[in-house]
């Protein structure tokens, strides 16, 4: 009964983010048929497949890549496997939706992007916040010129609770795991590239994070190519919940995006006027944008248009994260050009 | 591959509201299988079934009622058929989700409720706003005693645009078509029954509505059994969009529910500070509550618990609408006891 | 050293409101010299005069009326003396600022207005809320046509705590003491006269108020000459403070005025997002409008223009209060024409 | 008739800020008598004195310092005269309220503070924003521990329009003229000293400002002694008006202060929901805090308590401004210890 022309998808990785994408592909994305789920833990793949009524569950993602009826994959496996699977999927002619980051080193990223380029398949990186209605609206109004020339960009991004130390140990550190979304947001909102960063950071939330060689609180200054100045502030623990706001100030106005809340009630009593905290964490806050990014990816395949988050868009925030870390370690402004030769050129 | 114990549903009526419920049943309600769609317009039923991959489309709802594999129906047909189908579905042993109003006269309503009562099936009425997160939160906090004794209830309910005159002619009028939701909300929030209403109303939006014998603007005062006083204000046309707010004031505090917006951006420029209008209309504003009411209905079947919106909850707002109209016509306060003998007693 | 052309003022009544006006006249109103204070309690007059460095304190207001160097008086004595002093002051050729209400019966009011009319002096009534920046802005934007035709007017006016029973006994009751401001606001915002009122009211705050023959909670429906419908809700006790809001809905938009707060901080913690309660009571909320109304009065004298709140503006809300009470007692809509013959005509 | 024990004040400087302080001293500060005004432009002094009914106007501030009936002075003259007059006033035994900055070089500042110290008079610096109700509330709640340990401090401070170039030429530059208030605010809110600053700045508003050797837009990162990180963003031109907000994030919560507006109306129409811009500029926004700082100064004299903004509080932001400028010029973080030896020690 499924229409013949549906786009058949495979999901690779049945962990937290894989489950979200699989569920969305199974129910919320018109024109798509979720055909198979792979996970190194076969049981995890089977459980997810059963719950979503998906016929095929495998422990080897190559079974998906070699299935000629499958046109696209969503790569949701562990970070250290992203780049390899991107390359193999590209060689197999699959369109690719890949979670961020592509990899934690540039040589690996560039090799994967090169494979995609050669295969001519679509690649979209999972910077889902670009599809959040608040940030999208701010982006669009800036692009329309509603605030004139952007001059000051402020991004607040604070998590409700720090990740387990086990995750800190493999994530690449806060700049590459958490701030990477804000680096992408800075580019997305300003429409300009960042040339230099300066990081002030420290360990204020949990000394174990410091012992693991990472920081948990940071304020990062960005210098944009167009002259604008930006600042990102991060904390691993905001006691009032997930704090995700942006503000862009320009010559003709200012645009802000406030937090979303579970409801819009207001309670007034003898103590004051009380309203709800932000939605708890990214699963709640970005539920809509996880769906929207997949819809956009499917549309770019169907219409053969450029994905809204390209491979280069996936690479640059990694460079920014590396520069931010170097700036922190050396306590000085660091140019992105110190980190990386121009993209896709021989180094 | 569908789990054996799924609750099989039929949707009766493939119009605007039927489409919403069918789509939600097909994708958003765990434990449910949408098995069949009926509409007097067979093409409409077939189109909807095809889009949602539903195997059965019929033009005769009896084909659903006589299907022993179907356990529950959602009645989304035209208002004048609600009560008859409720009775027949009850006699066929189906659990029933029925759109409001059950009927426009009490004798018909009572006969339907009687049939449900005799059959011992579940009946839930489609007052979806009880499942809106804003109103639900206000209701819950009041029930928890957070504002002490409710004293003043204020409900604002304004549509973005009036319905076509063809609809005005058959809807039963603004009080039974639009205000009926607010009557339900008044009971839901206050936890008390309304005993008397006074209506001030007029035709301010469109003279054609007046010529059709209806009003388009109203302020209705409610006297509750517990002594509280309420006011509902309605307009068929709010130029800034769908305005759906409540405020309940009590001895220990006040609870308000504000409007929802498409996003949370704020734009400041030389003219002022600008933020978005409310979500356009009920499809957008209540998208979440349409899903939640079906989930609750399914849960009440699965757990054999009382539905959260009962048949009596469907009947009383009709009485209130009748009283509101009588008050308007006679320009005096009207007691609900003038309209109706006690429920389910011989009249 | 005082400029010769200053307007010399006398304040009659050194109670709570007299103190406010005296202090404002002494310090905040350019072009004015506060020359004398009268109070039946000479000590009160002397204390106030000493604190403000005013040379003259008397226990007999006639000493002010007979002082040829004094051009204007502010009547802040007890309500039952307002009308008599208005008449005498008019006969003495003084311009008159008089606190509301002029009197609690229309014959007395009309006699006073007649005396003012004959003397040709200025009379401004102390409906200070017209000078509140929030309400003034809403009024002005409505007058500019920004919301098109006003259709629904909503006024919320709730006190933080009920007055002492001794005050309830002499105030004329809630409708003439408290709601009178809201009646004036309804006329001020809508630009239209009220023709009929319907009152739903009760005793919910303090049974002693009921025993004194008054109510403490009310919702009043207003029918305006231009077809608009209004509603006022009152409570003698809002636990979260002084609640003073208006909302006017029209064919082209809506205007609202929100509460003012002592500051604009917002506090987010694990329990939610918290902001300040409204300013405590009228002394805080309307501090600015008490000054602005006197400035406007002085300006109307200096420029020989019509006061912004006339004697008729003082009379009509008394009629509305009488109609509201009659409606409450008889539980039916009451036309203002039932209360009063046309203004200034023989009765 | 003036009470004998009033504190007699002289105001030195009858320019914009002198007028504000003189008017406030003349009308809003209990226990004070404004006795004399001095300005090098005698006409300006005389005009202001006449308007406020002050008996003495002179062109030589020494006439005030030598008047034994005058106990305190407010120094509102041009910045380059502040330190000298502070010293002379201290030697004359006057208590001193001095506008910021004390001077633009530390040796001069330290000499003035030394003179004050030796004379044992009170000195309060005009950082009026500490007395703004919003910021004061945030400060107090932080001091009470309501947000736990402060971790991130964000200060937004944007003017509605740049000053004339003539002012830019003598002001000491944006960091010492405008940001100086924000440096003080950072210390006031955090309760900690700043140890290092990093400045990203540019000319985005007006190239003439750049030609004058100054910047008009900046983002400054602050490292506090207690480990917290701060960021100040400045613009000389916010098209939507004077933007004065703070946010302090800590281990147990967040405190924000939003902008103040002329009124609290909200206007909804077909284009969206619109509310007022911030109060235009510092005269409007800080009208209340200009009064409150003088009241606090008078109180510190009357009660012989320490002023709430001391000479050291006036000195440190100058050091911060110098460090911010040095950081901008050298594009590197600069420690405050690079600028200055410890206060009041021989250099």
- Tell whether B345 is within 8 A of chain D (Cβ): no
Chains in touch with B (≥3 Cβ pairs < 8 A): A, C, D
Closest CA to B210 of B242, B165, B158: B165
Q: Which residues contact B288 (CB under 8 A, 6 or more apart)?
A: B131, B132, B133
Using the structure block, give the residue that is written with the tokens 């189908």: B85
A138 → closest Cβ in B134, B260, B265: B265
What spatial distance separates the first Cα and last Cα of chain D, rounded to whole Å? Answer: 52
Burial of residue A299, with CB atoms counted within 10 A of its CB: 0-12 exposed, 13-18 middle, 19 or more buried:
middle
Residue A30: closest C-alpha in chain B: B51
Q: How does pLDDT run across A9-65, given as a tens digit for each residue?
A: 999 999 999 999 999 998 878 889 999 999 999 999 999 999 888 999 999 999 999
Closest CA to D128 of D10, D5, D292, D263: D292
D263 → closest Cβ in C27, C134, C264: C134
Upstream peptide bond of A101 is cis (omega within 30 degrees of 0): yes
CA D293 to chain centre: 10
D146 → closest Cβ in C53, C266, C267: C267
- Tell whether A4 is within 8 A of chain B (Cβ): no
Using the structure block, give the residue that is written with the tokens 């780049």: A83
Burial of residue A212, with CB atoms counted within 10 A of its CB: 0-12 exposed, 13-18 middle, 19 or more buried:
middle
Instruction: Identify all chain A residues contacting B138, using CB atoms and an 8 Å cutoff.
Output: 265
Closest CA to D242 of D218, D208, D267, D276: D276
Report the distance separating Cα D188 and Cα B86, nearest Å: 69
Report the distance separating Cα D135 and Cα D128, nearest Å: 10
Instruction: Identify all chain D residues contacting B269, using CB atoms and an 8 Å cutoff.
Output: 239-240
pLDDT at A30: 81
Element (H, E) at D46: helix D42-52
Chains in touch with C (≥3 Cβ pairs < 8 A): A, B, D
- Tell whether C140 is within 8 A of chain D (Cβ): no
Instruction: Identify all chain D residues contacting C2, using CB atoms and an 8 Å cutoff.
Output: 53
Q: How does pLDDT run across A199-249, given as a tens digit for each residue?
A: 999 999 999 999 999 999 999 999 999 999 999 999 999 999 999 999 999
Q: Secondary structure of B87-138 in the HEC alphabet?
A: HHHHHCCCEEEECCCCCCCHHHHHHHHHHHHHHCCCEEECCHHHHCHHHHHH
Kindly state the average pLDDT of the residues A109-121.
98
pLDDT at A279: 96
User: B300 and B122 in contact (C-beta within 8 Å)?
Assistant: yes
Chains in touch with D (≥3 Cβ pairs < 8 A): A, B, C
Q: What is the complex's ipTM, to 2 decimals?
A: 0.94
| Cβ–Cβ gap B240/D275 under 8 Å | no
Q: How far does the CA of residue C159 sit from the closest CA of chain D (Å)?
A: 19
* C253: β partners: C250
| Cβ–Cβ gap A257/B265 under 8 Å | yes
Both tokens assigned to B210: 């007046």
Using the structure block, give the residue that is written with the tokens 């992007």: A113
C-alpha R_g of chain A? 20
User: B25 and B32 in contact (C-beta within 8 Å)?
Assistant: yes
Phi, psi of A335 (to 5 degrees): -80, 145
Kindly state the average pLDDT of the residues A176-187.
97
- Tell whether B280 is within 8 A of chain A (Cβ): no
D141 → closest Cβ in C146, C264, C267: C267
Q: How far does the CA of residue C5 sit from the closest CA of chain B (Å)?
A: 41
C7-12: strand order across its sheet: C56-58, C32-38, C7-12, C72-75, C95-98, C123-125
- Tell whether D304 is within 8 A of chain C (Cβ): no
Q: How far does the CA of residue D316 sit from the closest CA of chain B (Å)?
A: 34
Using the structure block, give the residue that is written with the tokens 């310092």: D65
Alpha-helix residue ranges (DSSP H) falling in A79-206 = 79-91, 106-119, 133-143, 165-170, 174-177, 179-190
Q: Is A63 helix (H, G, I), strand (E, B) or coil?
A: helix
> Which residue of D195, D204, D209 to mutate against A (max A Cβ within 10 Å)?
D204
Instruction: Identify all chain A residues contacting C277, using CB atoms and an 8 Å cutoff.
Output: 268, 270, 272-273
D266 → closest Cβ in C258, C265, C268: C258
Q: How far does the CA of residue D238 sit from the closest CA of chain B (Å)?
A: 9
> Which residue of C186, C249, C277, C338 to mutate against B (max B Cβ within 10 Å)?
C249
- Tell whether A201 is within 8 A of chain D (Cβ): yes
Whether the pLDDT of residue B39 is over 50: the answer is yes
Report the distance separating Cα A74 and Cα A295, nearest Å: 13
Phi, psi of A8 (to 5 degrees): -90, 130
> Which residue of B149, B151, B228 to mutate against C (max C Cβ within 10 Å)?
B151
Report the distance separating Cα A218 and Cα A207, nearest Å: 15
The residue count for chain B: 347
| Cβ–Cβ gap B270/A256 under 8 Å | no
- Tell whether C346 is within 8 A of chain A (Cβ): no
- Tell whether D268 is within 8 A of chain B (Cβ): yes
Kindly state the average pLDDT of the residues B119-127.
98
Residue B1: closest C-alpha in chain A: A53
- Tell whether C266 is within 8 A of chain A (Cβ): no
Q: How far does the CA of residue B333 sit from the closest CA of chain A (Å)?
A: 32
The residue count for chain D: 347
User: A74 and A15 in contact (C-beta within 8 Å)?
Assistant: no
Mark the ranges of chain D whose per-residue pLDDT is less than 50: 1-3, 342-347
Task: State the number of CA atoms in the 13 A half-sphere of D137 facing the CB.
Answer: 20
Work out whether the CA dihedral A317, A321, A322, A323 comes out positive or negative: positive
Whether the pLDDT of residue B155 is over 80: the answer is yes
A 117-136 → C contacts, CB under 8 A: none
Phi, psi of B341 (to 5 degrees): -70, 165
A272 → closest Cβ in C268, C270, C274: C274
- Tell whether A273 is within 8 A of chain C (Cβ): yes
CA C256 to chain centre: 20
- Tell whether B204 is within 8 A of chain C (Cβ): yes
- Tell whether B210 is within 8 A of chain C (Cβ): no
B137 → closest Cβ in A137, A265, A270: A265
Q: Secondary structure of D147-181 in the HEC alphabet?
A: CCCEEEEEEEEECCCCCCHHHHHHCCCHHHHCHHH
pLDDT at B4: 52
Whether the pLDDT of residue B343 is over 70: the answer is no
Closest CA to A257 of A278, A234, A283, A228: A278
Which band of pLDDT confidence, cut at 50, 70 and 90, is reported for residue A344? very low
C 157-186 → B contacts, CB under 8 A: 158
C134 → closest Cβ in D254, D255, D264: D264
Both tokens assigned to D296: 């606090």
Q: How does pLDDT run across D106-161, given as a tens digit for each residue?
A: 999 999 999 999 999 999 999 999 999 999 999 999 999 999 999 999 999 999 99
| Cβ–Cβ gap A133/B263 under 8 Å | yes
| Cβ–Cβ gap D269/C253 under 8 Å | yes
Q: How does pLDDT run across C95-125, given as a tens digit for each residue?
A: 999 999 999 999 999 999 999 999 999 999 9
Alpha-helix residue ranges (DSSP H) falling in chain C = 16-27, 42-52, 62-65, 79-91, 106-119, 133-143, 165-170, 174-177, 179-190, 207-211, 282-285, 287-302, 311-330
Closest CA to D27 of C301, C47, C34: C34
Q: How far does the CA of residue A278 sit from the closest CA of chain C (Å)?
A: 8
- Tell whether B335 is within 8 A of chain C (Cβ): no
- Tell whether D91 is within 8 A of chain A (Cβ): no
Report the distance separating Cα A31 and Cα A3, nearest Å: 8
- Tell whether D333 is within 8 A of chain A (Cβ): yes
Upstream peptide bond of D259 is cis (omega within 30 degrees of 0): no
Phi, psi of C271 (to 5 degrees): -90, -15
> Which residue of C265, C271, C278, C291 to mutate against D (max D Cβ within 10 Å)?
C265
Using the structure block, give the residue that is written with the tokens 């450029």: A306
B235 → closest Cβ in C152, C200, C332: C152
Whether the pLDDT of residue C345 is over 60: the answer is no
Q: Return the percent helix, strand and coil in chain B, to nearest 5.
A: 40, 25, 35
Instruction: Identify all chain B residues contacting A264, using CB atoms and an 8 Å cutoff.
Output: 134, 257-260
CA A112 to chain centre: 17
Burial of residue C283, with CB atoms counted within 10 A of its CB: 0-12 exposed, 13-18 middle, 19 or more buried:
middle
pTM, rounded to two decimals: 0.95
**CB crowding D46-57: b at 16 or more within 10 Å, else e:** bbbbeebebebb
């Amino acid at each position: 009964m499924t229409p013949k022309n549906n786009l058949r998808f495979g999901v690779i990785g049945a962990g937290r983010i894989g489950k979200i994408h699989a569920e969305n592909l199974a129910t919320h994305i018109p024109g798509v048929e979720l055909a198979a789920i792979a996970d190194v833990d076969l049981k995890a793949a089977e459980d997810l497949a059963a719950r979503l009524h998906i016929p095929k569950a495998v422990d080897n993602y190559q079974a998906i890549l070699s299935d000629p009826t499958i046109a696209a994959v969503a790569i949701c496996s562990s970070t250290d496997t992203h780049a390899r699977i991107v390359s193999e999927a590209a060689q197999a002619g699959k369109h690719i939706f890949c979670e961020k980051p592509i990899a934690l080193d540039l040589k690996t990223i560039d090799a994967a992007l090169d494979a995609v380029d050669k295969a001519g398949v679509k690649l979209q990186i999972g910077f889902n916040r670009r599809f959040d209605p608040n940030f999208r609206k701010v982006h669009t109004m800036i692009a329309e010129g509603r605030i004139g020339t952007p001059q000051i960009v402020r991004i607040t991004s604070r998590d409700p609770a720090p990740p387990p130390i086990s995750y800190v140990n493999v994530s690449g550190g806060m700049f590459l795991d958490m701030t990477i979304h804000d680096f992408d947001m800075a580019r997305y909102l300003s429409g300009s590239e960042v040339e230099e960063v300066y990081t002030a950071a420290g360990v204020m939330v949990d000394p174990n994070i410091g012992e693991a060689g990472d920081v948990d609180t940071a304020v990062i200054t960005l210098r944009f190519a167009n002259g604008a100045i930006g600042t990102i502030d991060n904390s691993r623990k905001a006691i009032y919940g997930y704090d995700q706001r942006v503000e862009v100030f320009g010559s003709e106005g200012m645009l802000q995006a406030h937090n979303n809340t579970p409801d819009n009630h207001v309670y007034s009593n003898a103590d004051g006027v009380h309203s709800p905290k932000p939605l708890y964490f990214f699963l709640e806050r970005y539920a809509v944008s996880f769906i929207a990014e997949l819809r956009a990816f499917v549309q770019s395949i169907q219409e053969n248009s450029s994905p809204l988050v390209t491979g280069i868009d996936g690479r640059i925030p990694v460079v920014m994260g590396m520069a931010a870390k170097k700036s922190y370690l050396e306590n000085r402004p660091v140019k992105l050009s110190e980190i990386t030769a121009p993209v896709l050129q021989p180094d």
